[in-house]
Structure formats: C-alpha cells, structure tokens
Structure 1
C-alpha cells in the first residue's frame, strides 16, 4: 500500500462514518462483509485536511481505473449512495467495489471479497472530479 494506511479527507471521513452507521447492513451478506471490512480499515486510516490530500487517493467522486489479475479492466466513479448510476459507471461507496477502493491510491494492489469470490486487482489511475452535490452540502 502506497501510503501504508487508507487516507481520507476530514469531511468525507465524517460523512462516510455517518452513512456506514445508518446503512444497516441488510442488503446481502457480501455487502455486509464489505461494510464491516471498510469500518475495520477506517480504524487505522489517516484523516487529513483538504489541502493535505494527495491527488492520487480515491475519494468521493474520484474516477478510478483498475485492472484485475483475471484480465478485466474497468473505470468507475465512486459516489455517495444517492448519486449511483450503473449506466454511467457511478457506483455507491456502499457497494463491495466502492468500499474496496475508497482511501487507496494509484498503484495499490487490492484484495477484496465480492459476491463472485475473492478478487485481486490493481488501481492504475485516479482522477479527481468535482461533484455538483458536494459533501459540504450533506454535512
């Protein structure tokens, strides 16, 4: 892992903890496992001010490109739950893939349990995208 621990911006950390606490874990066991694992990783996360955030760390609205050990490649955007749109490759932080990527950086290898089994992939690119909604509005 490039930065040794997950890295999160303060406002995003507060918002993420809030939605994880109210998410309820009721959708499926894989989603529940992902949320629990993300909660565990957040215990050791580095929480930084906005101006201290590295540009290659995955945050809300980041566009992320990954390549799997099985050969598939995908570019997705990690968003708040209300902005998810599968057709536009916008996935919620509360999905297994969203939870797996959040706080990691370009070049990091990730191993995560998905409904299809354990997946190994590498983050190949991270692009920061401004949100029309913004976390500030939600806090």
Structure 2
C-alpha cells in the first residue's frame, strides 16, 4: 500500500469534521471509518512541504481508469462544498477518500459495489 501525504491543515480539518459529525447510519459510519483509516496511515506534513502534484483538499485531479481509459476530473472538497455536477467531490465520498494524498503518476484502487477500479493520477492542479 502506497504511503499518502496529507497537509497538517487538511489533517486538522478532517479530524475535526469526523469528531463533530459522528455518522448516524451504517453507510456514514463506514465512510467516516474509511477516511479515518486513510488519515492514520498518512504522512502529515506542513503545507510548504507538500508537492503541488499531491491531491489535497481543494486541488483538482485528473484520474484515468486504467481498464477503460475513462477520464474523471474532480476537485476534492469538504462535504458541504460537494457538487458532482460541478466536478466537486466530497472527501467523504468513497472516491474522494480513496484519492486523498496520492500524487501524479500514482495508481490506486477504488472499491465500489460493482467491483474494484484501478485509477491513475494523471494530473493535479489547484482547484
């Protein structure tokens, strides 16, 4: 499993989000547990030490699904800012949690009801 990088500010924001909003449904608890697991395995670094090609909150990522070649463009945001039709995906969405902390060139897996997809981070830009 690749190590991911998370800014200290994002880590603090996301830990606060999890503490303030305990999941009410099993689905919410599962999503929050997945995010917590990612945060606990991350290297937490000051913003100045995070490369510009690492997916953090408010950065836009271009992902390529390796099997189909489909391209996904999303900006990673907090739940209240999410709007998939505008390309903003919540950090609590399974894909949002899965993409956190990876950098350009990394390949990661996203498990969904229909199976597992392998995605490559093609590019990362400021949101």
TM-score by length of 1: 0.79
Matches within 5 A, 1:62-77: 62-71=59-68, 72-77=70-75
Deviation at 1:95, TM superposition (A): 0.4
1:46 corresponds to which residue?
43
2:52 corresponds to which residue?
55
Aligned residues: 126
**1:110 and 2:108 correspond:** yes
Give the unaligned 5+ runs of structure 2.
Answer: none
Give 3-state SS (helix, strand or coil) of 2:41's partner.
coil
Q: In angstroms, what is the RMSD of aligned CA positions?
A: 2.0
1:90 to 1:123, Cα distance in 2 relative to 1, 3 A: same
Structure ranking higher in strand proportion: 2
- Is the 8 Å Cα contact of residues 25 and 35 (structure 1) preserved in structure 2? yes
Of 12, 16, 19 in structure 1, the residue corresponding to residue 17 of structure 2 is: 19
- Further displaced range: 56-65 or 16-25: 16-25
Q: Distance in 2 between matches of 1:96 and 1:65?
A: 16
TM-score by length of 2: 0.86
Deviation at 1:102, TM superposition (A): 0.8
Give the unaligned 5+ runs of structure 1.
Answer: 130-139
